[in-house]
Structure 1
Amino acid sequence: MPGYTYFFVDSVPKQCICPICKLPMQAPVVLTSCQHVFCDSCLRPRHRRGHSHNRASLDLDSSLMCPLDEQRVDSRNVKSSVELSNQIENCMVRCPQEPQGCRWVDIVRNVPSHLETCRYVAVLCPQNCGDMVCRAFLKEHVDHACSRRRRLCQFCRNSFSAEEYPKHEGTCPDEQVWCENKCGLRIPRRKLARHAEHDCVKREVGCSFCRKRFLFDTLQTHIQQCTLKGVTTPVSGQQSHSSNHQQHQQQQQPQYNTSTSTSNSSSNDAAILSAVGKTSSGTGTSPLAVTPESTLDKPDSGGVNPQFNSQRRQQPEASAEAPPPVPRRAASAECLDGGRVRGAPPIDCPLKWCGCQFKGDRASVDRHQCDPAASAHHVTLLAELARAQRRELDSLKRQLRHLPLVHSGRLVWRVDNYAEKLADSTPNRELEFCSVPFYTGRPGYRLQASAFLNGNGSGAGRYLSLYVKLLPGEFDPILDWPFVRPIRMRLLDQRDGSAGSRRHLEESFTPDPSWRHFKRPGRDASAAFGFGFPKFAAHELLRPEGGSDECCYLRDNVIFLEIEVLPDAAE
Structure 2
Amino acid sequence: SRGGVSKCPEDDRPLDYAQIYPDEELTTEVMNSLVRCRNVKDGCRWVGKLQILQVHLDECPFDALPCPLRCGAVLPRLDLEDHLEFTCCRRQVVCEFCSKKFPGDVYEKQHSGQCISEVMWCENKCGARLERRFLANHMRNECHKRTVLCQFCSREFVQETLQTHQYQCPRYPVVCPNRCDPTKIPREDLDLHVTELCPSATISCSFRDAGCKHKCPRFSMEKHTAENVQHHLKLMCDLSKTQQTQITQLCNALYSLTHITDGEFIWKISNYKQKFLESAYKSVELVSEPFYTARYGYKMAASVFLNGNGAGEGKYLSVYIKILPGEYDNILEWPFILPISFSIYDQNIDYDLRANITESFVPDPTWKHFQKPVKDTGALGFGYPKFVSHEILKTRDYIKDDSIIIKVKVDSYRNCTSP
TM-score, normalising length from structure 2? 0.38
The structure whose residues are more often strand, as a share, is 2
Higher RCO structure, 1 or 2 (CA under 8 Å, sep 6+): 2
